[in-house]
Copies of this chain bind each other. A is one copy, B any other.
Amino acid sequence: MTESRVIRSAAAGWTGVEPARYKQEAEGPGCFVGATRHTLLGAAPAGPGEALDFELRYFELAPGGYSSLERHAHPHAVVVIKGKGTVRIGDSVEPVGAFDVVYVAPHDVHRFSADSAEALGFLCIVDRERDRPVAVAEDAGDAER
């Protein structure tokens, strides 16, 4: 199979993929709760998928958890694959569930949140080379976009 591979889904995550804290220190500030990250393909500097120009990550937010309210120049492509929650983009909040697709355009302030009683799991694809997110104050709202 050369460098091609199948990374098997397991009871909790994927075989051989260690979940990480949602944010690495180097990725900047941000307030978040109950979030884990699995980098499935394209992790820099090495890992499966090294020929990809993008990273495929899986994020899971525990019930009641949420990601940082943040903005950045790189866009997000997101597919929800588990549970229910909401996405805030600018001042708009929309419910999301299994197989909904979310596009977050450059510079739009955004946050993903799990429902209070259900985890939210989603795939998120980003360019491998990308700018660092900037945390946005909770009350800044659309003025920060």
* B-binding residues in A (CB < 8 A): 1-9, 14, 40-42, 48-49, 51-54, 56, 75, 77, 79, 81, 87, 89-90, 92, 94, 96-106, 108, 110, 123, 125, 127, 145
Contacts and interface: CB of A to CB of B under 8 A. Distances in A.
Contacts of A97: 9
Given A53-B54, A125-B125, 12 more contacts: A1-B90, A4-B89, A4-B110, A6-B100, A9-B99, A14-B99, A48-B103, A49-B103, A51-B105, A56-B79, A79-B79, A79-B81
10 contacts: A3-B105, A4-B89, A4-B90, A4-B102, A4-B108, A6-B100, A6-B102, A14-B101, A53-B53, A125-B125
**Chain A, interface SS category:** strand
A5 B100 CA distance: 10
A56 B138 CA distance: 31
Given A51-B75, A77-B49, A77-B54, A40 B101 contact: yes
Count copies of this chain in the complex.
2
A53 B75 CA distance: 9
Nearest to A13: B99
A56 B105 contact: no
Q: Which among A9, A92, A97 has the highest number of chain B CB atoms within 10 Å?
A: A9
A4 to B, nearest CB: 4
